[in-house]
Amino acid sequence: MDRFIESWKRAAHQDDASLLAAAYNLSKEAHKDQFRATGEPYIIQPVAGMKILFDLGLVDDRTLAVPLVHDTVEDTDVTLDEIREVLGKDVAELVDGVTKLSRISYSSKEEMQAQNFRKIFLAMAKDIRVVLIKLADRLHNMRTMKYKEPDKQVETARETLDIYAPLAARLGIHRIKWELEDLSLRYLDPDAYYELVGMLSQRRSVREDYLNEITEELTVKIAAMGIAAEIEGRPKHFYSIYRKMKTQAKQLDEIYDLFATRIIVPTVSECYAVLGLVHELYKPIPGRFRDYIAMPKSNGYQSLHTTVIGHRGIPFEVQIRTEEMHRTAEYGIAAHWRYKEGSTEKRQDIFEIRLSWL
């Protein structure tokens, strides 16, 4: 915890970590006789939830205190009044919001449909941070699910895939969405998951060579245009590939864009200039171009997508976006929480506008 607090002080540009220390001490004392299925002290879980939020860019100490203590109200003798007395009104209200969401029962498939997300989850969460805390909590649970009973693994993975991953997507937090989907697949269809992992691992060196070749060529060509670009190659996420194989009844060799290259440039005009270069270097596949800059997705996502055929005859996807678009693509509404100036109320207004379409 001491190491985390030092990291937090640098990120938050603050020296006073007394609130985080008080939250940690309260949680550690309340959970002192509790252990996780791994045999580790229970305090490991709330600390992990706090770190996930921090990795999303949330540095507000009141927000980070909540994952440390919200389980104390549900699982120990600590009361909401004690939270309010020790940690303040804001933390207590957030803990109360998380506790209420934890009591929602997802008893039928109909309750999980998209049009009910606002009614079930977001209408109850008066503060965006409550939803982010629940997502962080679920992500850590899924990361440690291997220690649970098989029936519990399947039940939790199904709920995660039906509710939490789509919720992360609707908030634009793709970093969490992708990991939740991949972890869910591991328990819902383990045979397919490990077969897919094995097939992709066998080709890993070939794939990395191919992506490096593409990245090096694009780096040279884009630099020659006088554009400062950040370029990376990456394989697609397992669940994305799995879903395509299932819905399109195709084998792995038949799936387009197993590989993706992401190009981040300073301006929108440079996005289109780089797109032109990509289409000059590689053959575009008809019908595979999407302009999400001109027509953003409803969750705010913006990027240019195109799928092209490389020099080896292997197709790959290219995503082109600005740094601001990239932050939104990775962190969604959390990016606004970190980067937008202004009060909590102003940032909450942004959240409500973004969710008006839910």
For the chain, where are the E strands, in sequence order? 230-235, 259-265, 283-284, 290-291, 304-309, 315-322
Q: How far apart are CA 230 and CA 121, in angstroms?
A: 37
Cα angle value 221/219/179 (rounded, 5°): 135
Q: Name residue 317's beta-bridge partners.
A: 260, 307
What would the two tokens of residue 243 be?
């879903």
Which entry of 29, 40, 74, 352 is annotated as an active-site residue?
74
Using only the alpha carbons of the chain, give its radius of gyration.
22
Angle at 327 between CA 325 and CA 330, to 5 degrees: 105
Q: Is 55 within 8 Å of 81 (Cβ atoms)?
A: no
Catalytic site residue from 29, 75, 216, 230? 75
Burial of 126 (0-12, 13-18, 19+ CB in 10 A): middle
Q: Which amino acid is at 65?
A: A
Active site residue 75: yes
Instruction: Give the DSSP letter string of 144-194.
Output: TGGGS-HHHHHHHHHHIIIIIHHHHHHTT-HHHHHHHHHHHHHHHSHHHHH
345: exposed, middle or buried (Cβ count in 10 Å: 0-12, 13-18, 19+):
exposed
* C-alpha dihedral, 183 to 351 to 267 to 276, nearest 10°: 50
Q: What is the rounded distance in angstroms from the CA atom of residue 135 to the CA atom of residue 169?
A: 11
Residues labelled catalytic? 74-75
